[in-house]
């Protein structure tokens, strides 16, 4: 699974805001230049990002395996015809370029995920989104990361219990309803316990965040983001 891994690569040491800016401008540049030449240039940029993050393209591809059928089906469906000549390769060119673009965005995003710990992402969000909305968003994001493994285990446990009692022979809506109701009950119980615990600890609007600061090395990343953004306008 694609997830944060501690390390000391160049990308690990960048400010998370720089990395977010590169991702956003890369995606925008991809949309603006979905041409063979544009994609070759962006491919070089994506390779550079993976290199800076010390990430192999194969591991990034592994994290993207669910999307591969979608990427493959686009060109095929667009080129297929319900009569002679049945398949028109020219129509598949544009969707195929779009699939390559999506693939490149996945590589750049994988570099971010691999090199940015949750607490830095949260600090970046709270600094980028102003006021209490930003603080609430930061808290919420941190809580989702924290509770995801627990809720996931809750759901899988309910489903295993269902299978052990031959519940998997029931109709689909009944199975869905039982697993979802079990998950909901536990999630509400966890939310109530969490809210009580937060109140008991004087949960305040003044969170203590890790310091994130732009350094000289961020200049390279920011320059790349600016160049990509400018290329969108050109």
Partner 1 sequence: MATEHESVELVGDELVGNIARSALFAALMGAGSYVSFPNPISPIPVTMQVLVVFLAGIFLGPIWGGASMGLYLAAGGLGAPVFAGGSAGFAPLVGPTAGYLWSYPLAATLVGALVHGGVELRDYRVGTPRLVSAMVAGTLVVYTLGTVGFAYVQGVSLQSAFWAASAAFIPVEAFKIAAAVGIVRSDAIAAQ
Residues in 13-52 at the binding interface with partner 1, rule: CB under 8 A: 20, 23-24, 27, 34
Nearest distance from residue 220's CB to partner 1, in Å?
Answer: 20
218-233 and 16-32 are packed helices; what angle lies between their axes, rounded to 10 degrees? 20
Task: Name the minimum Å distance from CB 50 to partner 1.
Answer: 13
Residue among 197 and 230 whose Cβ is closer to partner 1:
197
Residues 171-210 that bind partner 1 (CB under 8 A): 171-177, 179-181, 183-185, 187-188, 190-192, 194-195, 198-199, 202-206, 208-210
**Binder among 102, 128, 220, 232 for partner 1 (CB under 8 A):** 102
Secondary element (H or E) of residue 91: none
Opening angle at CA 223, ends 13 and 110, nearest 5? 50
Nearest to 132 by CA among 76, 200, 207, 27: 207
Count, residues in the chain: 234
Nearer to partner 1, 139 or 220 (CB): 139
- What does the alpha-carbon distance between residue 155 and residue 161 come to, in Å, rounded to a whole number? 10
Q: By CB under 8 A, what part of segment 128-167 binds partner 1?
A: 136-137, 139-141, 143-145, 147-148, 150-152, 154-156, 159
Cβ pair 115, 15 in contact under 8 A: no
């Amino acid at each position: 699974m694609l997830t944060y891994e501690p390390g000391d690569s160049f990308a690990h040491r960048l400010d998370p805001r720089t990395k977010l800016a590169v991702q956003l401008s890369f995606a925008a540049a991809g949309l603006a230049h979905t041409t063979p030449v544009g994609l070759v240039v962006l491919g070089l940029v994506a390779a550079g990002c993976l290199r800076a993050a010390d990430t192999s393209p194969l591991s990034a591809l592994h994290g993207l395996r669910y999307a591969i059928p979608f990427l493959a089906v686009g060109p095929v469906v667009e080129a297929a015809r319900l009569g002679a000549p049945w398949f028109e390769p020219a129509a598949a060119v544009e969707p195929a370029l779009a699939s390559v673009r999506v693939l490149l965005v996945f590589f750049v995003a994988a570099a971010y995920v691999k090199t940015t710990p949750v607490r830095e992402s949260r600090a970046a969000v709270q600094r980028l989104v102003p006021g209490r909305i930003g603080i609430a968003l930061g808290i919420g994001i941190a809580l989702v990361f924290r509770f995801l493994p627990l809720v996931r285990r809750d759901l899988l446990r309910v489903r295993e219990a269902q299978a052990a009692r031959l519940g998997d022979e029931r109709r689909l809506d009944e199975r869905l309803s039982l697993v979802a109701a079990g998950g909901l009950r536990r999630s509400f119980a966890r939310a109530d316990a969490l809210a009580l615990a937060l109140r008991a600890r004087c949960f305040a609007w003044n969170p203590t965040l890790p310091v994130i600061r732009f350094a000289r090395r961020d200049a390279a990343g920011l320059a790349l983001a600016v160049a990509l953004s400018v290329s969108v306008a050109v």
